[in-house]
């Protein structure tokens, strides 16, 4: 595999530090990676510094979690100006909302007889904003569930008793935020969204790519989203959504894209610069 363009670190809800991700990418002989943490760019500089002097290219990225009606829509941003004050203000507000949401979920779990200490969850999260995976890990450590997957399926997924809706940003706003940071907005894992009818509206707003290659996309989905890319002149991207060992996500480099896709991203970036 040439490039893995969907990776999370300890800056959000991953279990590997940015430096460890770079080290692993080099071991896997990847040529390009993109660190796309949820609603934060705090790991980018560390990844770039760690990759300096190697043959590994690190594309500055982010994944912004949004909602449209009753559907979760995630927007990836590539080649973003992560120093942008406007971008950082938006991400700061989203992270603060995440912390408030996590506290509410922990309270709901206590009402269900699951006593998880907020400080324990914060310790698991480290410097990252607290998210559902951190709460799930605390539930495992405290013996309430046997796995992170079980925690989500029984308590933390949308519609489950411990779920709390997040403060909503719509995907059109997320596209605009990425554009203002000189980045390339890409629709993440559309097969999970199950709302293909939204794609034309996203393209009209400024979407420039679709994540075609993703661990949970079967061959039929891959062909379908290739077709969308051809129809709407979108660049094809892909990646593992790697969150680290033991998280249930694939290992780095198991899913991704070839050199041509990266060249297409770079070409679009050159036009935006």
Q: Summarize pLDDT for 181-224 with one digit per residue, the tens.
A: 999 999 999 999 989 999 999 999 999 999 999 999 999 999 99
CATH 3.20.20.140 at 3-91+168-272, yes or no: yes
Contact between 210 and 183 under an 8 Å Cβ cutoff? The reply is: no
Q: Which residues of the chain have pLDDT under 70?
A: none
Alpha carbon distance 169, 65 (integer Å): 8
Q: What's the CATH code, domain 102-156?
A: 1.10.150.650
Query: Domain residues of the chain, as ranges?
Result: 3-91+168-272, 102-156
Alpha carbon distance 100, 155 (integer Å): 18
C-beta atoms surrounding 63 within 10 Å: 24
Q: What is the pLDDT of residues 17-35, one digit of tens each?
A: 999 999 999 999 999 999 9
Alpha carbon distance 181, 162 (integer Å): 35
Contact between 45 and 60 under an 8 Å Cβ cutoff? The reply is: no
Tokens of 247: 């998280």
Tokens of 162: 């411990």
What pLDDT, on a 0 to 100 scale, did the predictor assign at position 97? Answer: 86
Q: Which residues contact 13 (CB under 8 A, 6 or more apart)?
A: 37, 38, 125, 128, 131, 132, 133, 134, 243
What pLDDT, on a 0 to 100 scale, did the predictor assign at position 89? Answer: 96
Same fold for the domain at 3-91+168-272 and the one at 102-156? no
What pLDDT, on a 0 to 100 scale, did the predictor assign at position 125? Answer: 85
What pLDDT, on a 0 to 100 scale, did the predictor assign at position 253? Answer: 92
């Amino acid at each position: 595999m040439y490039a893995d363009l969907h990776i999370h670190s300890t800056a959000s809800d991953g279990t590997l530090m940015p430096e460890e991700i770079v080290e692993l990418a080099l071991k896997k002989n990847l040529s390009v990676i993109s660190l796309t943490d949820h609603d934060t760019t705090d790991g980018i500089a560390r990844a770039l510094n760690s990759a300096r002097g190697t043959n590994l290219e690190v594309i500055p990225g982010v994944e912004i979690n949004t909602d449209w009606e009753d559907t979760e829509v995630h927007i990836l941003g590539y080649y973003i100006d992560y120093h942008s004050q406007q971008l950082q203000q938006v991400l700061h507000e989203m992270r603060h909302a995440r912390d408030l949401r996590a506290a509410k979920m922990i309270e709901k779990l206590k009402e269900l007889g699951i006593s998880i200490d907020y400080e324990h969850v914060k310790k698991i999260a480290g410097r990252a904003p607290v998210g559902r995976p951190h709460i799930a890990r605390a539930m495992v450590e405290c013996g309430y569930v046997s796995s992170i997957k079980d925690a989500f399926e029984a308590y933390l997924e949308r519609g489950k008793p411990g779920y709390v809706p997040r403060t909503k940003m719509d995907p059109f706003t997320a596209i605009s935020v990425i554009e203002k940071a000189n980045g390339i907005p890409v629709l993440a894992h559309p097969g999970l969204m199950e709302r293909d009818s939204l794609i034309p509206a996203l393209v009209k707003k400024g979407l420039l790519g679709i994540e075609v290659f993703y661990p949970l996309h079967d061959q039929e989905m891959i062909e379908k989203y290739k077709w969308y890319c051809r129809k709407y002149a979108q660049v094809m991207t892909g990646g593992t959504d790697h969150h680290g060992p033991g998280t249930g996500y694939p290992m780095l480099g198991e899913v991704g894209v070839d050199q041509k896709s990266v060249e297409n991203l770079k070409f679009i970036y050159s036009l935006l610069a």
